[in-house]
Amino acid sequence: MNAAISRYLPEFPAAPVGAQPAAPETFDDPWAGLARAPHRAASPSEAAPADLRVAEALLREIVQPLPVPRPAAAQPAAEAFAPIRFAPLRPEAPAPEAGPAPLQPAFKSEPRRDAKRETPEERAALLAAAEERGRQQGLAEAREEAEIARRQADEAAELRLEAARRHWSAAEAEALADGFSAALRALDATLSDRIARLLAPVLTDALRRQAMAELSGALARLLGQPQAANVRVSGPEDLLAALAARLGPLADTVSFTPSQTAEVQVSADQTVIDTQLGAWTRLIAAAVAEI
């Protein structure tokens, strides 16, 4: 190696070849004589070609001769030769492995521009605009929340109103049914009372007519006998007039005596005929009072 370097650097001497140690004598080995043959040192010109090539490659990598400047003027002999400078040994970078191509962005962004410095007025305007946007956004959200709350309140109110209407309808239907039944009962009682009061005089008149018919028949039978008895009739004046009209010519033989009683009484000697109209009138009045 030193011999190869000395070819390029004369001041770098070749390394001296040291003395070879004597091989021990071996009588059993047939090749021992050859091993004891003297070896001479190889000259620099006989160095291995591989070593020379390796040394030259290293020197080319290490030694980089500087360019010789043009002589502008006469220089001293000491400065005619520039010293040899050694560059630091740089390791060879491994070759990059072939990999997938890097992805390119779908949209190319515009080159970044330097931000313009804002003035206080512009900053205040930006802040005011941001506040206005925030206020408008807050108002929109508040309106939306208020609308949702209103719809929910309306739905709840409708549900409550529907439930109240159902309860009211049920209660009113029950009250109306009770009231209708009570009204029918009251109407029945009222109609019965009025009808009874209206029918009482009619019934009384009917009883009177029936009584007069029966009484006139009885008097006609009495007066038709061969020996007529002395007949006396007493009672209300209107009934006596009705009885006289019914008797016709026979009324001349009857003595009519008006009285304040409600009954018509006929007496002929020992015979007494009573119409019993007072009893019938009292029965009708009691029936009307019970109604």
203-231 burial by CB neighbour count: b if 16+ within 10 A, else e?
A: bbeebbeebbeebbeebeebbeeeeeeeb
CB 287 within 8 A of CB 196: yes
Q: What is the CATH classification number for the domain harbouring 284? A: 3.30.2320
Q: How many domains does the chain have?
A: 2
The pLDDT of 12-24, averaged and rounded, is: 53
User: Which of 1-10, 202-211, 258-267 has the weakest average pLDDT?
Assistant: 1-10
DSSP 20-66: PPPPPP-SS-TTHHHHTS---PPPGGGS-HHHHHHHHHHHHHHB-PP
The pLDDT of 59-82, averaged and rounded, is: 56
Is the per-residue pLDDT at 138 higher than 80?
yes
Whether 227 is covered by a domain: the verdict is yes
Q: What is the DSSP letter of 229?
A: -
Whether 93 is covered by a domain: the verdict is no
**Confidence band of 169 (pLDDT split at 50, 70, 90):** confident
The pLDDT value recorded for residue 79 is 47
Whether 160 is covered by a domain: the verdict is no
Whether 117 is covered by a domain: the verdict is no
**Confidence band of 147 (pLDDT split at 50, 70, 90):** very high
Whether 210 is covered by a domain: the verdict is yes
Query: Percentage of the chain surpassing pLDDT 70?
Result: 38
Whether 156 is covered by a domain: the verdict is no
Whether 89 is covered by a domain: the verdict is no
Whether 256 is covered by a domain: the verdict is yes
Is the per-residue pLDDT at 47 higher than 50?
no
Domain span at residue 232 reads: 193-290
The pLDDT value recorded for residue 204 is 64
What is the rounded average pLDDT for all residues in the chain?
Answer: 68
User: Which of 29-43, 93-107, 118-132, 224-238 has the weakest average pLDDT?
Assistant: 29-43
Helix, strand or coil for residue 130?
helix
**pTM given for the model:** 0.26
Torsion sign over Cα 17, 21, 22, 25: negative
